[in-house]
Structure 1
């Protein structure tokens, strides 16, 4: 069985795990949140500290957690404080799966092998030690309901849950709107959690901004193409008008000649 206290990355993953489907909510942003949660856990362990918007290693001694120690070593190798947004936005291949496998070894979840459409192998995870998951959720619910400033660990977890978009998963529908708002407000109760949560959201907004920047030149090209296409059409319209005027003048001259000829013959 697992220990009573989980690390913040583990708690965030357990919050995101949907008991009905065995999958995680917000899988893409969750990967960013897990990277940020590692920073918060290392800060709580006294290994790193915020330095403005950067993260500095203050004690490179291992924590005993292999996944956290791997992150700590990568930070140490940087040699100088790294911006939180750059660290969180870096490649984190397999981080979510690493934590799911770890939780399975601890007896917190059970992997269920299946097939999608009878062909593609899939793995779903069902929580087996639900008491821990309920305790994690109860801490958030209490902080939201009472409005009392929570401890640093709970505040950081709330900040990360909001940052990765778990609010609608935890407190769905219109009835959960006020709870989602209070979840967001908890971000201010832990400086490190707030720094990391804002970095997670900045990374997500940066990706959206890049996509918008790609769309804008394409739209500009379309407008230029439309402008070039309209120029020949305008020229053809002018030619048509000139031809019509020329034809009218020719017809008028023909009528005049026809009227003059009888008088000359007379």
Structure 2
């Protein structure tokens, strides 16, 4: 079974270019950190206590990305909130995106292609080997939202992880990669309602708010730097 980070990155990559969709480029690094945090919650390793994320089971999972994140959270003496951990894991798991890409390549879902621009600069892209896995992930999201009667018939489609993934996809501005334009507008308004009964809903809301706040901060900081650079020139 793919992790939330693997599913989110699959949706975040443009199948044709093998690069991250432009509109998600700022949010996706924070989204991947949030996805790791969400999976640790769903695995019962951490939980939201008040406003803070707390380790409740420090035993390793056996998955390097999860174990590194769990170790970072567990060794930090002060309790911290979701916003802190989304930003901290985005910073400290320096190779998170590449690690997730590697996992997808090892499973034969993506491939790495290298080429040089102007014969000098090497660029790497990650197109899909076969889009079946990504389509399965997207189809679960579509059925969850657009065919609710089927959810009652097949509870597996309404599983927590799919609802959490929907929140992460929305936070990373990737709904249009799953739904058409009109559907995406409707789904955007429904996300909070759809996820309100999820056992980890409060924690997910905290993470989504943290991702959004981090994106705003990153964009604001970049604008300040650009403005300062322009003024100095």
TM-score, normalised relative to structure 2? 0.81
C-alpha distance 46-129 of structure 1, shift in aligned 2 (>3 A): farther
1:35-184 superposed matches below 5 A: 35-90=33-88, 91=91, 92-147=93-148, 150-171=158-179, 173-174=181-182, 176-183=184-191
Structure 1 window deviating more from structure 2 (153-162 vs 169-178): it is: 169-178
C-alpha distance 50-177 of structure 1, shift in aligned 2 (>3 A): same
C-alpha distance 139-77 of structure 1, shift in aligned 2 (>3 A): same
Larger Rg computed on CA atoms = 1
Gaps of 5+ in 2: 153-157, 228-233
Higher helix share: 1
SS at 1:46's partner residue? coil
C-alpha distance 181-20 of structure 1, shift in aligned 2 (>3 A): farther
Q: Structure 1: how far apart are the matches of 2:10 and 2:196?
A: 23
Q: Structure 2: how far apart are the matches of 1:125 and 1:207?
A: 25
Gaps of 5+ in 1: 217-266
SS at 1:87's partner residue? helix
TM-score, normalised relative to structure 1? 0.71
SS at 2:115's partner residue? strand
Tell me which residue corresponds to 2:231. none
1:9 pairs, out of 5, 11, 21, with 5
Greater relative contact order: 1 or 2 (C-alpha under 8 angstroms, separation 6 or more)?
2
Which stretches of structure 1, 4 residues or more, deviate above 6 A after TM superposition? 211-216
